[in-house]
Amino acid sequence: MNRKKLKSENSNITTMMNFILLGCSDTPNLQWTLFVIFLLIYLTILVCNSIIILITKIDPSLHTPMYFFLGNFSFLEICYVTVTIPRMLVDLWTKKGHISFLACATQMGFILMFGGTECLLLTVMAYDRYVAICNPLHYSLVMNHKVCIQLVAASWISTIPVVIGQTWQIFSLSFCASHTINHFFCDVPPILKLACGDTFVNEVAVYVATVVFIMVPFLLIVVSYVKIICNILKLSSARGRSKAFSTCSSHLTVMVLFYGTASISYLQPKPNHSEGMEKLISLFYTVFIPTLNPIIYTLRNKDIMMALKKLLAKILA
């Protein structure tokens, strides 16, 4: 009897070594259309962000803390979408969606790491704008190159131990339910749905991580921008106010879009909305917002546009 039970348990463990990502399997007629759309989106993100990285490196006028952070943010965006979109393209191409236990855990870990890093980097960028506008006389001293490197490094490194602990905790659960994930990638909420037993501790851990990496940075950004706006309104020159607002508007737009959708997803580990809506929200902050970010930063930034025109002139000359 014990042998049969052990054999059955081993069989269940073996079965659960693989998951199936359902993705868009409920709309088989749109598979190829979605493949083309996601491929174009991925290529757009790669090209646009690579251009931003290139021009912030080669144009001397953009060798400032603001554009140093923007170049790092663009690199982060490339990493962020590379964790999800290529996998989605493979699943749409093969129409299978099989993903191993280890690959699923790895994908989740990188999604959480890059997402957390993005939250912290957006906070650093807000601090940079705060110092530039509210304390301009000491800007070059406060935001020197060494400090900029330290802030970027801290944004990347500080997420790693939390992400490792979070991922290990979630994938240490027993998955006795269906091994099909009704999602495009291995994200926290759909994985927790598959776990059997009490997941209260895991849900609390998700809330704590969300507060630390989403809500606290968001509040810091809000405080920074309240001070920035108050300082801008004190400026006597209308042109000065317009220029100050224009340097902040792009970052503020990106921040609102990213934090808004990410908080909706992660503040509800067992969301009340439908799985279709859950997938749409996750697609918004992992795919569509990274597509909009380089467009927002280039079209609303005169310095970037000037540098881009100079680069094109050199290439076409």
- Higher pLDDT among residues 278 and 170, named by residue: 170
Percentage of the chain beyond pLDDT 70 is 85
HSE value, Cβ hemisphere, 13 Å, CA-based, for 70: 31
pLDDT tens, residue by residue, 298-317: 766 778 888 888 888 888 76
The pTM for the full model equals 0.86
Could you tell me where the DSSP H helices lie in the chain? 2-15, 31-58, 65-94, 101-134, 139-142, 145-157, 159-171, 188-194, 200-210, 216-233, 238-266, 275-283, 289-299, 302-316
pLDDT computed for residue 268 by the predictor: 59
CA–CA distance, 317 with 314 (Å, rounded to integer): 5
Q: Any idea which of 50-64, 141-155, 244-258 has the lowest mean pLDDT?
A: 244-258
Cα dihedral 308→313→315→317 (10° resolution): 180
pLDDT band at 200 (very low <50, low <70, confident <90, very high): confident
pLDDT score for 128:
93
pLDDT over 90 percentage in the chain? 36
List CB contacts of 302: < 8 A, sequence separation 6 or more: 246
pLDDT of residue 313: 82
Residues present in the chain in total: 317
Residue 22 phi, psi dihedral angles, 5° rounding: -75, -35
pLDDT value at position 157? 95
Rg of the Cα atoms in the chain: 22
Burial of 99 (0-12, 13-18, 19+ CB in 10 A): buried
Rounded-to-integer distance, Cα 57 and Cα 54, Å = 5
pLDDT mean over 40-52: 93
Task: List, for residues 178-193, the tens digit of each pLDDT value.
Answer: 788 888 899 888 888 8
pLDDT top residue among 269 and 129: 129
Rounded distance between C-alpha atoms, residue 183 and residue 102, angstroms: 17
Predicted confidence band at 10 (pLDDT cuts at 50, 70, 90)? very low
Residue 1 has pLDDT above 60, yes or no: no
| Residue 24 scores a pLDDT above 80 | no
With bands split at pLDDT 50, 70 and 90, how would you rate the model's confidence at 7? very low
93 vs 228: CA distance, rounded Å = 48
Looking at residue 272, what DSSP letter applies? Answer: S
| Residue among 107, 115, 45 nearest 261 (CA) | 115
What are the chain's domains?
2-316 (1.20.1070.10)
